[in-house]
């Protein structure tokens, strides 16, 4: 097949392009090489060498889609804007409007397309699902965002609406969404639009809601995301990793290799069509434990530092259930220590890997997206 991968010069996109080339597909990449991820504005050399067609273009531009979609049988739409900055409109133009443009072009041309796979996110769940340990009747709560006045006082846990006991996270399935920041809303818009238009116009579409993806090639120039990058930058430079809140937030990190296998699976499995699936790591890891793992893997001698600040819009805990995708034969297999080792070996080969965490935090404090407790 000839397959278009938007965002194919990026982290997940480049691994996906590799996997598709391994399977003998022809790959075309559409990527705007946006800074800061692409400081040198270059496509990955190895993808060119492997025969991927690399096209520089912007997914917000209809003409770019018209050229990029020419003759393709399937599309992975992975290009996206993801950040903690208050440039709200960019999330929607890059993530949501681009998706509408892609379907506009496919529909206008009546182009046969055997699969569209859009990258969505665990962020569509907002705070995710919880139960109250003290109220047996409250088993599957989907609370809204945490109250600012509680966060300002360092009260991190969500209180039970009935008895105020701290709620405990449960594995969140795909049945309900509750996005509560611009990125999440833009991704929710993207997947909803894709699934609706795919169904209406007979374009088999799948949405994949990735949990936090980790691995080599994840940009370390984007100063505002990527816990593995943040911890590694600190530890390698002899500084303790900083954990926001109390460091007890739970996540289900997933390796980019497991994500790539999920991407490939849904390309050929018709049972996936018209559905949204979680793609997560299926293990609960606290931020604090993750920091300790990075310290051990790097052979450093320090402890995670709990700063008590919080990022506006962060979720307390969120854990995606992967049962639905597991029913199609996929499961995450890469262990977290292996993910960390792979990342640390990769950054060791990157000449410009430096600690930008203080600059990033200062900027976020100034913008009000990172806040101190009172």
Residues that bind ligand NAD (CB under 6 A): 6-7, 9-13, 31-34, 37-38, 58-60, 78-82, 94, 119, 121, 210, 212-213, 219
Q: Which is nearer to ligand NAD, 167 or 250 (CB)?
A: 250
Min dist CB 258 to ligand NAD, Å, is 12
Instruction: Report the alpha-carbon distance of residue 59 to residue 40 in Å, rounded.
Output: 20
Min dist CB 217 to ligand NAD, Å, is 8
Min dist CB 11 to ligand NAD, Å, is 3
Which of 318, 321, 279, 374 minimizes the C-alpha distance to 167?
Answer: 318
Torsion of CA 143, 147, 150, 151, to 10 degrees: 100
Q: Which is nearer to ligand NAD, 37 or 160 (CB)?
A: 37
Min dist CB 299 to ligand NAD, Å, is 26
Min dist CB 249 to ligand NAD, Å, is 15
Buried-exposed string 6-17: b where 16+ CB fall within 10 A, e elsewhere: bbbbbbbbbbbb
φ, ψ of residue 15 to 5 degrees: the values are -65, -40
Instruction: Report the alpha-carbon distance of residue 209 to residue 184 in Å, rounded.
Output: 11
Give burial (CB, 10 Å; 0-12/13-18/19+) of 350: exposed
Strands (E), 13-148: 26-31, 53-56, 74-77, 115-121, 129-131
- For residue 285, the SS3 value is strand
- For residue 298, the SS3 value is helix
Q: Which is nearer to ligand NAD, 90 or 111 (CB)?
A: 90
Q: Which residues does 279 contact at the CB level (< 8 Å), separation at least 6?
A: 208, 209, 210, 211, 254, 258, 259, 262, 320, 322, 325
Min dist CB 179 to ligand NAD, Å, is 13
Is residue 257 within 8 Å of 15, Cβ to Cβ? Answer: yes
* Residue in the structure block whose two tokens are 């995670």: 304
Min dist CB 188 to ligand NAD, Å, is 12
Residue nearest to ligand NAD (CB): 10
Q: Which is nearer to ligand NAD, 130 or 253 (CB)?
A: 253
C-alpha 308, offset from chain centre? 24
Q: Which is nearer to ligand NAD, 103 or 157 (CB)?
A: 103
Min dist CB 328 to ligand NAD, Å, is 19
Q: Which residues does 317 contact at the CB level (< 8 Å), separation at least 6?
A: 127, 128, 130, 169, 249, 250, 251
Q: Which is nearer to ligand NAD, 65 or 310 (CB)?
A: 65
Min dist CB 8 to ligand NAD, Å, is 7
Give burial (CB, 10 Å; 0-12/13-18/19+) of 368: exposed
Q: Which is nearer to ligand NAD, 36 or 202 (CB)?
A: 36
Q: Which is nearer to ligand NAD, 156 or 220 (CB)?
A: 220
Q: Which is nearer to ligand NAD, 151 or 287 (CB)?
A: 287
Is residue 158 within 8 Å of 142, Cβ to Cβ? Answer: no
């Amino acid at each position: 097949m000839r397959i278009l991968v938007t965002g194919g010069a990026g982290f997940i996109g480049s691994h996906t392009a590799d996997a598709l080339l391994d399977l003998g597909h022809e790959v075309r990449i559409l990527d705007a090489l946006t800074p800061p991820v692409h400081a040198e504005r270059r496509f990955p050399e190895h993808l060119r060498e492997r025969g991927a067609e690399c096209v520089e273009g912007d997914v917000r531009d209809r003409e770019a889609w018209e050229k990029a979609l020419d003759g393709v049988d399937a599309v992975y739409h992975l290009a996206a804007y993801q950040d903690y900055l208050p440039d709200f409109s960019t999330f929607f133009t890059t993530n949501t409007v681009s998706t509408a443009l892609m379907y506009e072009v496919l529909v206008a041309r009546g182009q046969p397309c055997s699969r569209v796979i859009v990258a969505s996110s665990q962020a569509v769940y907002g705070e995710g699902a919880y139960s109250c340990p003290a109220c047996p009747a409250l088993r599957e709560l989907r609370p809204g965002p945490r109250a600012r006045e509680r966060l300002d006082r360092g009260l991190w846990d969500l209180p039970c609406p009935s008895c105020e006991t701290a709620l405990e996270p449960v594995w969140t399935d795909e049945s309900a969404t509750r996005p509560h920041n611009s990125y999440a809303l833009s991704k929710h818009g993207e997947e909803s639009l894709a699934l609706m238009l795919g169904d209406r116009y007979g374009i088999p579409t799948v949405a994949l809601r990735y949990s936090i993806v980790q691995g080599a090639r994840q940009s370390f120039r984007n100063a505002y995301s990527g816990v593995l990058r943040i911890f590694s930058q600190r530890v390698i430079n002899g500084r303790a990793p900083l954990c926001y809140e109390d460091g007890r937030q739970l996540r289900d990190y997933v390796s980019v290799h497991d994500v790539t296998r999920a991407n490939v699976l849904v390309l050929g499995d018709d049972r996936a069509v018209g559905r949204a699936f979680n793609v997560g790591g299926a293990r609960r890891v606290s931020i604090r434990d993750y920091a300790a793992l990075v310290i051990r893997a790097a052979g450093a001698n320090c402890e995670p530092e709990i700063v008590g600040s919080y990022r506006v819009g962060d979720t307390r805990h969120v854990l995606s259930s992967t049962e639905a995708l597991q029913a199609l034969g996929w499961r995450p297999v890469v262990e977290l220590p292996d993910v960390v080792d792979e990342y640390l070996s990769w950054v060791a080969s990157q000449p410009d890997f430096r600690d930008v965490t203080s600059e990033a935090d200062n900027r976020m404090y100034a913008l009000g997206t990172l806040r101190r407790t009172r």
